[in-house]
Structures are given as C-alpha cells and as structure tokens.
Amino acid sequence: MNGLLKVICLFVVISLSTLGLSAGAARAAMPSVDYLETFGIGAGMGGPGAIDLDDNGNLFVADRTAGVVKFSKLGTVEGQFQGVKASGTGLAVSPDGGKLFVAVDADGDFQSEQVAILDGASGALLGSLGQGSGEFANAGEIDLDSNGLVYVLDSSARVVKIFDGAGAAAGSFSVEVAGQLCALSAMAVNPAADEVFVADTATPASVRVYSANGALLATYAAASDFGSAMVSFRGIAFDGQGRGYFIDNVSAKIAVLDFAGITAPAKAAVLGAIDLGALVQGATQPQDAVVDGLSRLFVSGSYADGPSVAVLGVGNYQIPAANNAPGAPSVVAPMSGTVVASAQPTLQFGAASDADNDPLTYDVTVACAGQTVDSVTGLRVLSYQVASALPENAQCVWSVKAFDGADYSSEATASFYVNAVNEAPAAPTLQSPADQANALGDTALVWSGSVDPDPNDTVSYLLTVLDASGNLVAEEAADSGVTLSQTTAYASLVPGASYSWSVAAVDSTGLEAASAANAFVFAESGLVIDSNVPGADVYVGGNPGYLGTKVGQTPYVMLGAADGDYQVAVVHKGFEPAFGMVSVQAGGSAHFFADLYPALDPVGHFLRKGGLAAESGSGYADIKVAGTPMPWLADIDSDGLLDLVVGKAGPKVVYFPGLQVVEPGGKLRFGARQVLADLGQREVAPCVADWNNDGLQDLVYGAEDGLVRLVLNVGTANQPAFDAAGAVALQAGGIAISAGGHSAPVVSDWNGDGLKDLLVGGDSGRVDLYLNVGTDDAPVLQAAGSLFAAAKPKRVVPFVTDWDADGDLDLMLSKNGKVFVQANEAGVLAAPSRVAVLAGNRKKAALFQTGGGLFVMDSDNRKGKDFLAADSKGVLMQVKARGSEPVTAFFDVLVQKLDQIADMVSSDPTLLAKVDQARGAAGNGDVDGVATSVDSLRTAQGLPADAAIVCDELIGMMP
C-alpha cells in the first residue's frame, strides 16, 4: 500500500447485480479481483490519462503535468519524458518498448493536434504521425494492432486514422453515425481479432465495433449491453483471456465482458463489473486501463492518495518477480591490445543474455587518455562506429553494457591503440564454417589470407574464440585450417552453446586488423570416445566377452547420444582392449578415453590360488557352485564395474558384483553372491549380450536339454530383471538350435559384418556357427557349418577372443579338462593347440573341470590375457598369464606408422636413416630401441609437421 491509500476490502468487491445475459448464452465465471498496489504516488502526476504497456511489463503513463512517466513492472519510476507536452488523451507503446506514440497539446488549448513518436528509452523525439502538427483536430486514444499499425481516434473529426510504425499514413475510416450526436471518448483494438472498439458517450451512448478497414460490425448499447447502464465511457482494455474491460468514468465501475470465441455481429456476454470505488479508497474519474501478461489490471485516475495508477489482480494473477539484470555483453572487436588503423573504428560486441528474456539495448563509451571522447546509448545493433576522430597513437578504452529496460549489466571493456599512419594488414575474411553453422572438434577454421600494404611487413594470424560469458581464448596459427580440437578453447567448449570467432591479421609491428566475427554452435553433444592409439575400433553395448555393436573408430563422436549409461569397448590390433562405462547426461556430453597398452604374448599360465574370490561373511572365499560353473564377465548392473555371472547345475543364474583388482599382484575380488535370474532349466550356460540393442544386457543361455534360449532384460540398466516365462528358444531356418545336450552359446560378430552371430558348443562335440542374416537389432540366424568337430561326441565349450591380438577373432575351446586355442589366420582356423597351464605349484600341468566354461580377458591389466575356469574340484580360478614380450602384431603396428613417416621424409637422408633405425628395432622386438629412436627422430631438425604428428602417436603407444 502506498502513502495513505487504504484498501476497503482485502478481496474482490464486484457488482453482481443483474448482468443482462442474452437468452441461452453460456456464461463464463466472473474472475475474482484483488487490489494489489498503486503506481505513481509521489511521481508528480497531476492527471494521469492514457496508459500502455510494453512486452517487458513496463508501464507508460501520459500525464499533462508530468509528461510521460515510465514505471518498471515492479512500480519503480524508470524515466520521465517531458520533451513534448503530453495531453494525456492518447498513448501507445510498441511491443519492444522502443517507440512511444504520444498525443501532444503543444499550445495548451486542450486540443491534441499532433501525435509525436518518442524513443522509448531516452524520450528523444523521433518524429510524428502523418504531417505532424495539425494532422489531427483532437487526437484521443491510440492503440496498435497485431501487425504494428497505429490507430488514432480523432474525436473532433470523428474518424480513426491509421499509420504504419514509421508514421506514414496507412488509411482511415469514419466512426460517425448519421443523424446522431457524437461524443467519442475511448478507443481500443482487440488484438484477438484486430477489431476496433470506439466508445461514444452521446445519447444513446454505445460502443461500436469496427473491422480493421472500418466496417461496422456490432453496436453495444450503454444502457443494456453492459449489465448495469454505463454513464460515461472512458478507457477500454482487453486481456489475454478474451475479456474486455470498459470504464465508466462517472460511476468508477468497470464492466467486464467475455469476448472469447465471439465473432461479430454476435455480442459478448457480461461477466460482471468491478467496483473500483469499493476496492480503492477515493477512486474517482478513472481514465484508462490496460492488462499485462500476469493478469494485472492497471487503471489510471484519481485516488485518495492523489493522481496515480491502481493495480488490480484479476483471476489467477501473478506478482512479478524482481528483475534480473542482463549478463554482460562480450567484446568482439577491437579486443584488448589491438591496434586499429582508423581514427573512427567500428566497435563490435557479442549479444548479452537476459534471464527474463527482456529486449536489450546497449550503451557504448570510448575514452582516451582518461577523457571520454564518444558515448552512445540505446543501441539495438551489435556494432557502433565511433563518431569523432580518436587521437592518433593514443591508447583508448571502450566499454559496452546492456540495458533491459530496468537494470544495467556489468561492463565489458577492452583497450586498443589508434595508428592511422602505419597501415595494418587487411582484415581476413572468415570462410568456414559459415556464420551460425554447427561445428565439431574436427571442424577446420578457414579464413582468407591477409596482405599487408606496408613493404617488407610479415603477417601472422591470431585466432580468437569468444564464449557467451566474454571469456577469450586466442592462439597463433601458422596458417588457416586449424581445427577446433587443436585450439586451447576446445577443452572448455560446451556442446550446444554458441560461440563467436574472429581472426586478426598481425604485422611485424604488432598492428592488427580483425575480421568480422562469425558465430557457430558447438554441436559435439553426446558421447566422445578417444584413445592413445588413433583408429581404434569403438564398440558400445557390450562386454569383454561380446564387444557389442561397432560404431566407428577413435576419435569417435556420437552426436546426439541419448542420455544414459554406455558400455564401451575400444579395440586395436596389437593392444589389449579397454572396457568401461560412460554416462551421458541429458543435453550434455561425456568423454571416454581408452589408454590402450601393448598386448603381451599369452604364455606361462598357471592356476593362481586365491586369485579369484568373493565376499563371504567378514572376508573372502573361493567361488564354487553346484554342478559345472559357466562364468561370464559383464557390467550387468551398469555401475561401471564388471560383475561375474555364473551358470550352474540348478536353474538359478547367480552373479558376484563389482570386480575390484587388489594388490599385491592383481587379485580379483567380487561382492557377495546374488541371484540374477531363475530360468527354469538345469546346467545353465549364460552369455551376456544386448540382443535387441535396447541398451539393456540380455541373456542368451544354453541348458542341459541342449537348446539355446534368449531371455530379454525386462528391468532397467541398473536393476536387470529376467522373466523365464518370456524366454524363447532360438532357431535357425525355422528349426530350434540344439547342441545335443549341455548347450553353451557365445554371441560374437564372427564374420565382421557388424551383425551379432552365434557360436554353440555342447555334448555334440561340435562348435556350430550360426550367422546373422537379419539386422543387429533383430537377428535372424542361419546355420553356417561347424568351426570345430571332435572325433567323438563329448561336451565342448567355446569362447571367442583375439588371443594373439592380431585383429582376427580366435576360437577358444574347453574340452576334456583342457583349454585349446584355434588361431584365426586371415579367416582360416588353425588346428587346436593346447594352452599350457600349470597347477598352483607350477610343477605339473593343471586340469580343469570337464565340461566347464571359460572366460578370457586380461583381468588384471598385466602380463597378457588371463582366463577364468573351474579347476578339477569345481572352484572358479584365475588362470594367470606371465607374458612379458609384446605380441608380433604390436610391432607390426609400429612398423606401419614408421612406414608412414618414411614416406614423409623420403627426401631427407638423415631423417630417413633415423626412421630405418627405429624400424630395425621394431623388427627385432626391441621396444626400448623403438622408443629411443622415435624420441631422437621427433627432436630432429627439419622434421615435417605431419611426420611430427605421427611420431607423437608412436610415443603415445609405447608401454
């Protein structure tokens, strides 16, 4: 409550007398109305008249005494414009608040012969409607339609004149009724239909409705169409709910009509009336009304505390929150340290952001030697050319700040030098990416070369990347074509955010000329996967036993990746694969980096006592289950840790969560045993794979009856659930796949076509291959022969892995208590070769449980591929490798890289000799020799840049 103003009633007081609804009309409810506050007490207003709002909620009041007064949406005075003599009879504001249309009484005769156009920020006179002074006999109410046309009621001439936003005449129409007196007192445009409502207080008083081109559509009688009879119309307003508000200046009541869905000549129903006098003490002679987007009704007039504007809340109104000041704009050019070659440079800046989405203007100031030499306010463009010449060789500082109609941002500043004599290079022209284009890490920033007109002057380039917060990152580039990923800005770029970039050409004296700034949207949202070995294959949705779906090679960017958890595998010939989980948040990105290390020859295996254990009671114990253990490692619950899934004699598949590799020696430790699924079959042999690529790990499993079944995960990634009732027997060619008993399936992309295939072992003594002739999301299996067949039928359990890391999948076999490998040489499987495994005492050969499963991976990231298998007593064991030498394929990769460098330096005998030295070391299997030779080559003089890049890649591959 302001001043001495008293509220008569806390809640709405409305007139609910006979409303005069037409017969059969559906009546909407009259909204509640509350008095909220009063604007303008103490603002010096003598008789507030016409009022209007801009889209920011700023209220403008035309007052004969105070001029035009601007209030913020919170009621604070933001400006007072007295450059013209406002009559108070008419005022309209453009939606952005940039222009005011004000009825003017220049000679004080209470006749408004002119409508001035004022700047909404400063009040400066911009022009007039039509011919200016004398355009109107007596301008009254002013309003804008949805197209921005300006309507002015000339009450003395009895016409409505129409103008465009620049003030040019656009039409007119008469509002006079033949044979009747006319006393026009109010006008408003209903934005819902661009219908013009004109109030006439002459007997018989009425409100007439006209189309935008002046056709009379309907007439509302003051005596009968507003509920209680209206005595003297004054202001008219419409809200966003379709309601119309009609002020009776004498009774201080506001009739409320429902225009929602009304098409003239049909008439709106009366909802009720607002008794202004009952809501606000001393309310007399209300003049005008307007409704904002928060359903607040503003009514100008006289009240107990003086001339002011009462604020009423209608229906589900909202109280506006305090204004948020805009963020600072960003300096684009000239930037700090720039030397400009003009005494009147153009200052460019990036747009500020505003949490309230208010339209912004900008103020720019330029000072040299501590003295302000130029300033401008209210800019609506993102550049400004200094109006007066700046002192030669002076250091000047320019600043820019944003204004949202209520508050200023902090300033963005930059200093620059003026040198109009020594000519700077020509400004580069940005060529790619195009302005406002999307950009990725591998997007090249390309610009045209610059020529310096000064003799013997050299030119280099300074690239500047600017984010929305005004933070600058610059790096020199020898040439155009630098990629975003090569800039220091790359690591801090936020996917989906907008940036601007510019290039300055710099001569040897330090003078520079910046290009115009281009904007780009950093589109690298989603999943980014990279490794220390370029070109490594990237798989998602898999595990160490089934890699998943191949999606590309490193560096790999999965743009637009859906939010969620991703199981990732990164694989390269000559290296051990890397596995992990990465989470993508909604609208963000995630990065996964695989630090691949050289694969070692998988030799020297032994049963490691205590190497594999699970929580039991207060400690850890060996893992032993009833029947024949069938192990599989997968992150079944998507917590980022591998879990041990085990099939056994009974129908329940169990798992041991959360693999931890503990020291000393890299022992494997799991959480306590949990039941994963009850599948209703005996001797279950599970294989974990996302069969339908829905992001959930499913189970493909064999059983005692020899069939192979699929049960989909009906839970979530973090809480898997399997319903045995939904299990289906897999078929090939319409015939159920069978291994004759004790089936043991493995899912693998055996033929490398990007589709998951199926290998099945069992009591038949064969490993049968079923190729996928469908899609990876919906596999269709087709029998493709046997990969292995024993001389006599006896259970064989397969596993697929790249045992020697040569890039080809090899076939592992568990048979007769022994483990064999069939090396894949370019698609041809070699004869089975037994993997030598010593018992725990390392003195004799170890035997495994007959018919048991196995799972192969370098479980502790040292000494080559290990595997899990049950010993002859049925205890799951870590079968530890003791390799020490990298596999042949690792050296093959090194030689391929060295061959690339040799091609790049073939014309330089000195460099080529160093490459040959490194190739010789690789051929001898000498890792240290390769590293030493490559380090020497990398620092050698004259090494081409592309060769240096490959050297860096080689160095990153070294163990």
Q: Over 60: is that where the pLDDT of 740 sits?
A: yes
Residues 215-262: tens digit of each pLDDT = 999 999 999 999 999 999 999 999 999 999 999 999 999 999 999 999
Contact 799, 855 (CB under 8 A): yes
What is the longest distance spanned by two Cα atoms in the chain? Answer: 125
Count of other CB atoms within 10 angstroms of residue 264:
18
In a 10 Å sphere around its CB, with 0-12 CB exposed, 13-18 middle and 19+ buried, how is residue 355 labelled? exposed
Residues 574-628: tens digit of each pLDDT = 999 999 999 888 767 788 999 999 999 999 989 988 889 999 988 999 998 888 8
- Does an H or E element contain 10, and which? none
Q: For residue 502, what are the CA distances in angstroms to 335, 380, 383? A: 10, 22, 15
Is this structure's pTM higher than 0.85?
no
The count of C-alpha atoms lying within 13 angstroms of the C-alpha of 958, restricted to the half-sphere facing its C-beta, is: 17
Residue type for 66, please? A
Q: Over 80: is that where the pLDDT of 126 sits?
A: yes
- Stretch among 58-72, 241-255, 445-459, 929-943 having the lowest mean pLDDT: 445-459
Distance CA 121, CA 81 (A): 10
Residue 164: pLDDT band with limits 50, 70, 90: very high
The label of the residue with tokens 């109006």 reads: 387
Count of other CB atoms within 10 angstroms of residue 14:
20
Share of the chain above pLDDT 90, in %: 70
Mean pLDDT of 414-440: 88
Residues 6+ apart with CB under 8 A from 569: 538, 539, 540, 542, 543, 544, 547, 548, 577, 578, 579
* Sign of the torsion formed by the C-alpha atoms of 219, 221, 226 and 230: positive
Residues 6+ apart with CB under 8 A from 404: 56, 323, 325, 326, 354, 356, 358, 359, 360
β-pair type (59-63, 48-53) = antiparallel
Mean pLDDT of 362-373: 94
End-to-end alpha carbon distance in the chain: 77
- Rounded to 5 degrees, φ, ψ at 956 are -65, -20
Q: Over 60: is that where the pLDDT of 489 sits?
A: yes
Pair of tokens at residue 360? 């912004």
Q: For residue 146, what are the CA distances in angstroms to 150, 151, 164, 238? A: 10, 11, 12, 13
Distance CA 100, CA 121 (A): 9
Q: Over 90: is that where the pLDDT of 276 sits?
A: yes
- Does an H or E element contain 218, and which? strand 216-221
pLDDT of residue 453: 66
- 3-state SS, one letter per residue, for 243-279: EEEEEECCCCEEEEEECCCCCCCCCCEEEEEEEHHHH
Pair of tokens at residue 169? 């005449």
pLDDT of residue 494: 66
Distance CA 110, CA 89 (A): 9
- List the one residue out of 860, 875, 867 whose CA is nearest residue 622: 875
Q: What single-letter DSSP state applies at residue 484?
A: G
Beta partners for residue 34, in sequence order: 313
Q: Vertex 251, ends 18 and 200: CA angle to 5°? A: 90
Q: Over 80: is that where the pLDDT of 1 sits?
A: no
Residues 535-555: tens digit of each pLDDT = 999 999 999 999 999 999 998
Distance CA 707, CA 760 (A): 10
Q: Over 50: is that where the pLDDT of 290 sits?
A: yes
The label of the residue with tokens 């089975």 reads: 832
Count of other CB atoms within 10 angstroms of residue 228:
19
pLDDT of residue 826: 86
Residues 6+ apart with CB under 8 A from 926: none
Distance CA 569, CA 210 (A): 71
Beta partners for residue 81, in sequence order: 68
Q: Over 60: is that where the pLDDT of 456 sits?
A: no
* Average of per-residue pLDDT values in the chain: 90
Number of residues in the chain: 959
Residue 473: pLDDT band with limits 50, 70, 90: low
Comparison of pLDDT for 560 and 511, the residue scoring more? 511
Q: Treating both helix axes as pointing N-terminal to C-terminal, what angle do 888-904 and 945-957 enclose, rounded to 10 degrees? A: 170
pLDDT of residue 488: 80
Distance CA 350, CA 502 (A): 12
Distance CA 317, CA 11 (A): 13
pLDDT of residue 68: 97
Residues 6+ apart with CB under 8 A from 549: 539, 540, 541, 542, 690, 693, 754, 756, 776
pLDDT of residue 491: 67
Contact 91, 68 (CB under 8 A): yes
Mean pLDDT of 144-171: 96
Distance CA 944, CA 925 (A): 27
- List the one residue out of 233, 228, 231 whose CA is nearest residue 247: 233
Distance CA 847, CA 854 (A): 13
Q: Over 70: is that where the pLDDT of 413 sits?
A: yes
Distance CA 877, CA 869 (A): 6
Distance CA 619, CA 624 (A): 15
Q: Over 60: is that where the pLDDT of 746 sits?
A: yes
Q: Over 80: is that where the pLDDT of 798 sits?
A: yes
Residue type for 365, please? T
Mean pLDDT of 481-494: 80
Would you state the torsion angle of the CA atoms of residues 855, 856, 861, 863, taken in this order, to the nearest 10 degrees?
130
pLDDT of residue 190: 96
Beta partners for residue 813, in sequence order: 798, 820
Residues 292-313: tens digit of each pLDDT = 999 999 999 999 999 999 999 9
Q: Over 50: is that where the pLDDT of 18 sits?
A: no
Give the range with max mean pLDDT: 243-257, 328-342, 939-953. Answer: 243-257
